[in-house]
């Protein structure tokens, strides 16, 4: 039995559980994260909501306490900015 498995076995029985073993319960595995309805990604305008190609820049600025976060999204005019359909593909690819 490996050291990690032995430690997990002891902690399940309540014997010698270290604080690190207890913290492991709160570690998120990327596969456990829901990828649909990502409000965090949807509330920031990093994608064009239009179905047609958008060539003008998206300027996003938010005040976070004393810090100002500013993002400027641009793309070559021939290609255009990623659309909401591209966002759906990213969500599908990560799920």
Give yes or no: residues 69 and 53 share one domain: yes
- Is residue 79 predicted with pLDDT exceeding 80? yes
- The reply to whether 16 and 44 lie within a common domain is no
- The pLDDT of residue 76 is 92
- Rounded Cα distance between 21 and 49, Å, is 45
Same domain, 24 and 45: no
Question: What's the pLDDT score for residue 91?
Answer: 74
User: Which own/partner contact pairs does 1-9 have at CB distance under 8 Å and 24+ positions apart?
Assistant: none
The answer, as to whether pTM is greater than 0.85, is: no
pLDDT tens for 5-64 read 555 555 455 556 666 666 565 666 656 556 556 666 666 667 787 778 888 988 888 888
Count of domains for the chain? 2
Percent of the chain with pLDDT over 90: 3
SS3 category, 5: helix
Query: Could you tell me where the DSSP H helices lie in 1-95?
Result: 3-12, 19-23, 39-42, 84-94
CB atoms within 10 A of CB 78: 7
């Amino acid at each position: 039995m490996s050291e990690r498995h032995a430690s997990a076995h002891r902690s399940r029985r309540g014997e010698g559980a270290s604080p690190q073993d207890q913290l492991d319960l709160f570690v998120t595995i990327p596969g456990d994260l829901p990828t649909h309805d990502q409000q965090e990604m949807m509330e920031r305008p990093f994608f064009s909501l239009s179905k047609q190609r958008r060539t003008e820049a998206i300027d996003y600025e938010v005040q976070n306490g004393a810090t100002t976060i500013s993002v400027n999204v641009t793309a070559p005019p021939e290609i255009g900015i990623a659309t909401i359909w591209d966002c759906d593909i990213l969500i599908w690819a990560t799920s």
